[in-house]
Amino acid sequence: MSKLTLDGFFSYCKQIAEHIQLSERMASISGQGTPKLTSAVGNLYYDSILPYREDANMQTREFLARVVDVLLDFVQKVNDRNEKILEFKMPEEMQKLLDLELHDEPLPLKQLLEDCKATLKYQVKTGHPHFFNQLSCGLDVISLAGEWLTAAANTNMFTYEIAPVFILMENIVLEKMRNMIGWKTGDSILAPGGSVSNLYAFLAARHHKFPQYKEKGLTSIPGHLVMFTSDQCHYSVKSCASVCGLGTDYCVCVPSDERGRMIPAQLERLVRYHKDKGHVPFFVNATSGTTVLGAFDPLSEIADICEKYDMWMHVDAAWGGGLLFSKKYRHPRLTGIERADSVTWNPHKLMGTLLQCSTVHFKYEGILLSCNAMSAEYLFMTDKIYDPRFDTGDKVIQCGRHNDIFKLWLQWRGKGTSGFERLMDRLMELSEYMVRRIKEQPDKFYLILEPELVNVSFWYLPKQLRGIPHDANKEIRLGKVCAKLKGRMMQSGTLMVGYQPDDRRPNFFRNIISSAAVTEKDVDFLLSEMDRLGQDIVVE
């Protein structure tokens, strides 16, 4: 052997030894007694199963079946209240624990199975009944089944020719959602998230008011466009002004009342002010369910002002849209939504559809194609054997579009419309229960406001801060408690509740109940666990 070959040989041995060490480490991370491959399959590599070998059905099925076992174990743990929500590690420690390197040489299937287990071991269980941290909580099993099928189908939503069933499902679901908003006709699309949905609304509004913009650009606009939104809106509204050339100074923040709802008189005052300056007020964003406080802007009054000044009315109901299902809670919160020109509504939030599933709806049929079509001939031929209106790809500013419909369609089939209504009512009732429980323990908890949605805003009082008057200085100290207590939650892994400051107060907790897994007992656990973890916190 030449010296070079010997070096190569030693380096190869070293790689193998390192790999065995890492494999053992990953196996110990993922735990014993968990799904294992037979050695006949575990020692195979990617090119010994489908699609590389036609005669490898059995091996492929065994590999995938064990992966599915890993997924099913995870689903079981997510729903087990005795399991932790997370195994928190600092990023540096996590990097050392995991083998995330990409190697020159392939790894065997048994290693890939261990990788799957280790990945889920350290993933936060966002479907755990004690996870109250985000707007999207929970793990809807039927929607999950839909997502798994979607992955297997692995298609793109831009043309009917490659996604016929899914395109028809989109049409059915989106029409149903438009009807629930209160429109008989219109246009809709699924977008990658609420922020992009809001951007679609902005683009359609500008196109509707200034149809020449598409070809002529800025020269077709007769002045500086101004948009309006409440000071509690989602930041994506402001980003529309930046992305679309208005500049964020021309996204005007309208003051909100003490509960976070836009004040219509302030909107009208600001519209007049900008008109007097020669600007072109053209777009108002009303929020139905603000991210932090869960506030609903008064839609009917905002619609009156939009009509009076000929402005497009968009409703960002990404969060609160689910309440359209509920006869009990829809009014007065969403009264007037039917007067909007466009509506964003994210099923992946209140409705519990798996991430991500975000929709945007328009009152005007054909507006998306008119606004966004570029007529790329390689995809959207007009002489196809079917009606090309079933091709949705030219309605959007992206080209490829993920299939986000099947998991929602299947979930809706499973629950029925009445099931979604029951879910909405249940989530709201649980939030009311939480408010009651907080009020029953005034020494330990301070409710900041009566919620309109499932966002419950409050402070936790450790022993140090009990029995002293509530003033601005105490609020600052309560704000410091939030960060400390959240840290303890993460370290203990037993609970996750979000906190943030807003423009009126320092840090406070925002609890979200949007998971179908949550019960009254979980709400009681949440409050007692906060007290267990936080009672001895001391702040300056």
Contact positions vs ligand ABU (CB under 6 A)? 134-135, 194, 234, 291
Q: Could you tell me the smallest distance in angstroms from the CB atom of residue 399 to ligand ABU?
A: 25
Least gap, CB of 188 to ligand ABU (angstroms): 20
Nearer to ligand ABU, 166 or 200 (CB): 200
Between 132 and 412, CB nearer to ligand ABU: 132
Residue 135 or 221: the one with the smaller Cβ distance to ligand ABU is: 135
Residue 344 CB, nearest approach to ligand ABU (Å): 11
Distances in Å between the alpha carbon of 54 and those of 38, 44, 45, 152, 338?
Answer: 20, 15, 15, 18, 55
| Residue placing its CB nearer to ligand ABU in the complex, 203 or 350 | 350
Of 134 and 156, the one with the shorter C-beta distance to ligand ABU is 134
- Could you tell me the smallest distance in angstroms from the CB atom of residue 234 to ligand ABU? 6
Nearer to ligand ABU, 49 or 241 (CB): 241
CB 371 within 8 A of CB 214: yes
Q: Please, which residue, 60 or 236, has the CB nearer to ligand ABU?
A: 236
> CA 130 → CA 138, 454, 489, distances in Å?
10, 15, 11
Q: Which residue is nearest to ligand ABU (CB)?
A: 134
**Over the range 18-47, which residues count as b (16 or more CB within 10 Å of their CB) and which as e?**
ebeebbebbbebbeeeebebeeebbebeee
Contact call for residues 345 and 361 (beta carbons, < 8 A): yes
Closer Cβ to ligand ABU, 256 or 291, answer by number: 291
**Least CB distance from residue 201 to ligand ABU, whole Å?**
15
Quote the DSSP letter at residue 249: G
What is the smallest separation between the CB atom of 195 and ligand ABU, expressed in angstroms?
7
Least CB distance to ligand ABU at residue 424 (A): 18
> Measured from the CB of residue 359, what is the shortest distance to ligand ABU in angstroms?
15
Beta strand segments in 405-507, E:
445-447, 455-460, 496-500
The answer for residues whose C-beta is within 8 angstroms of residue 4's C-beta and 6 or more apart is none
DSSP annotation string for 473-499: HHHHHHHHHHHHHHHHHHHHTS-EEEE
Q: How far apart are CA 435 and CA 440, in angstroms?
A: 9
Question: What SS3 state is found at 450?
Answer: coil
CB of 463 to ligand ABU, least distance (A): 30
| Residue 355 CB, nearest approach to ligand ABU (Å) | 10
- Tally of CB atoms within 10 A around 385: 6
Whole-angstrom distance, CA of residue 94 vs CA of residue 470: 41
Specify the residue, 200 or 380, whose C-beta has the smaller distance to ligand ABU.
Answer: 200
Residue closer to ligand ABU by CB (options 134, 155) is 134
Q: Write b or e for each residue in 498-512: b if 16 or more Cβ atoms lie within 10 A of its Cβ, otherwise e.
A: bbeebeebbbbbbbb
**The two structure tokens encoding residue 205:** 């509004």
Query: Rounded to the nearest whole angstrom, what is the least distance from the CB of residue 135 to ligand ABU in the complex?
Result: 4
Q: Output the 3-class SS for 66-130.
A: HHHHHHHHHHHHHCCCCCCCCCCCCHHHHHHHCCCCCCCCCCCHHHHHHHHHHHHHCCCCCCCCC
User: Looking at beta carbons only, is 338 or 502 nearer to ligand ABU?
Assistant: 502
Strand partners, 286: 315
Structure letter (DSSP) for residue 338: G
Q: Where are the beta strands (DSSP E) in 86-175?
A: 131-132
For residue 471, with 0-12 CB atoms within 10 Å meaning exposed, 13-18 middle and 19 or more buried, which class applies?
exposed
Instruction: Specify the 3-state DSSP secondary structure of 511.
Output: strand
Nearer to ligand ABU, 178 or 234 (CB): 234
Virtual CA dihedral for 505, 490, 117, 144, nearest 10 degrees? -40
Least distance (Å) between residue 137 CB and ligand ABU: 9
